[in-house]
Amino acid sequence: MFLALKEMQRAKLRFGLLAGAVGLLVFLILFQQALLGGLINQFIGALKNQSADVLVYSDQARKNLEGSIIPPDQLAQVATVEGVADAAPLGESTFTVTAGGEERDAVVFGYELGRPGAPTTLIEGRLPEQGGEAVASEKDRADGFDIGDVVQVQPDGVEITVVGVARDINYSVSPVLFVDFATFEAAKRTRNPDATTILPSVVAVQVASGSSPESVATAINDQVDGVEALTRQQAVDGSPGVSSVRSSFAIILGLFYLVVPLVTGLFFLIVTFQKASALTLLRAIGASSRTLVTSLLIQVVVVMLTGSVIAFGLYAGALQGVKNLGVRVEVQPVVITSLVVLVLALVTSAIAVRRVLRLDPLSATTGGGVHV
């Protein structure tokens, strides 16, 4: 501890610059993770944050809500599968609406009140209790989707009053309204007055207590023809575009996770080379290898933790500027990311540790350092 801290105290600029570089890199990781989370939420937040445990799609839809239609007989069959506590229609469609005095696109989800498919992240107001009421996506409050605002489906169709707002329920990067199924039907008829029957997009299933969503989804797939049942998480992961966005970000994040420990490992290797003669002297006068390795690892930990604190400050500041992307400051990803980069940095410092372990105290008699 004494050696580690004294050295850092005497070389504040050098270690400060490294901590700053680590801070910037960790900040980029955190920011991109937040951006990815925000983007995914804007794509499929409505699916992720609704109450159905299992969603049953038409097997022709390829996990795309827009392309899925469930006829009444399939809905009835799903309801009879063992482990299904409740199976209700859930409709989804994009409409042109007037909100805040402007025409906009909005995605309307219609579910049967009190049954699966309701939004789960209500932060203000209440859930719809009758036709013509909606819970809207929080992010779009300022655009005419706040509590008390009236949204009208065009052309001159059903009017929907916002009675609650919920967090992270956007869909396809559009504003979302969760309404009762009858209102959803009315909205569909506004666009297509000749429609005879309005079919739900998927079946929203609540599993019975004691059953797992995975086993119920499997049972539905085995017993009902023409459908594809997915757990909520599978539906989220399988939504069009989600996996490609995730894999693109994964490559970028993977590179950052590689660069941070490499930078740290190389820095400590260079520092170890630079002070090889001092370390050899310490070995000669009785410092154990363990003492010197511990000292090195303490420095790695101090640098990485300082870098993480810098990163958190930058992250919190930067996210204030991009609130409209649906990103929020969360402590958990900061802690997890910091711990991951710390562990990786300790692993890459093994090269420097190896150098320390190879120091020959006899070299002190020649003024040398590392014996290669």
Q: Which amino acid is at 22?
A: V
Count the residues of the shown chain that bind another protein, applying the rule CB under 8 A: 25
User: Residue 219 and residue 80: Cα distance in Å, rounded?
Assistant: 11
Among 28, 224, 282, 327, the residue binding another protein under the rule CB under 8 A is 282
Among 79, 253, 281, 302, the residue binding another protein under the rule CB under 8 A is 281
Alpha-carbon distances of 280 from 6, 54, 350, 368, 371, rounded to whole Å: 17, 65, 18, 8, 10
212: contact with another protein by CB under 8 A? no
Of 6 and 126, the one with the shorter C-beta distance to another protein is 6
133 close to 180: Cβ distance less than 8 angstroms: yes
Contacts of residue 54, Cβ cutoff 8 Å, sequence gap at least 6: 84, 205, 207, 213, 216, 217, 220, 229, 230, 231, 232
Report the site for another protein in 346-365 (rule: CB under 8 A). Answer: 361-362, 364-365
289-308 footprint of another protein as x/- string (CB under 8 A): --x-----------------
- Both tokens of residue 201? 């997009």
Cα Rg for the chain, rounded, in angstroms? 29
Among 142, 285, 331, 372, the residue binding another protein under the rule CB under 8 A is 285
Of 3 and 203, the one with the shorter C-beta distance to another protein is 3
Beta strands, E only, 112-222: 122-125, 133-137, 150-153, 159-166, 176-180, 202-207
Q: Pick the stretch among 2-10, 87-95, 134-142, 347-355 that binds another protein (CB under 8 A).
A: 2-10
Contacts of residue 125, Cβ cutoff 8 Å, sequence gap at least 6: 135, 147, 162, 163, 164, 165
Among 190, 206, 280, 337, the residue binding another protein under the rule CB under 8 A is 280
275: contact with another protein by CB under 8 A? yes
367: contact with another protein by CB under 8 A? yes
CB atoms within 10 A of CB 156: 9
53: contact with another protein by CB under 8 A? no
Of 9 and 332, the one with the shorter C-beta distance to another protein is 9
Least spacing, CB of residue 274 vs another protein, in Å: 10
Q: Which amino acid is at 319?
A: L
13: contact with another protein by CB under 8 A? no
What does the binding site for another protein look like in residue numbers (CB under 8 A)?
2-3, 6-7, 10-11, 275, 277-278, 280-288, 291, 361-362, 364-367
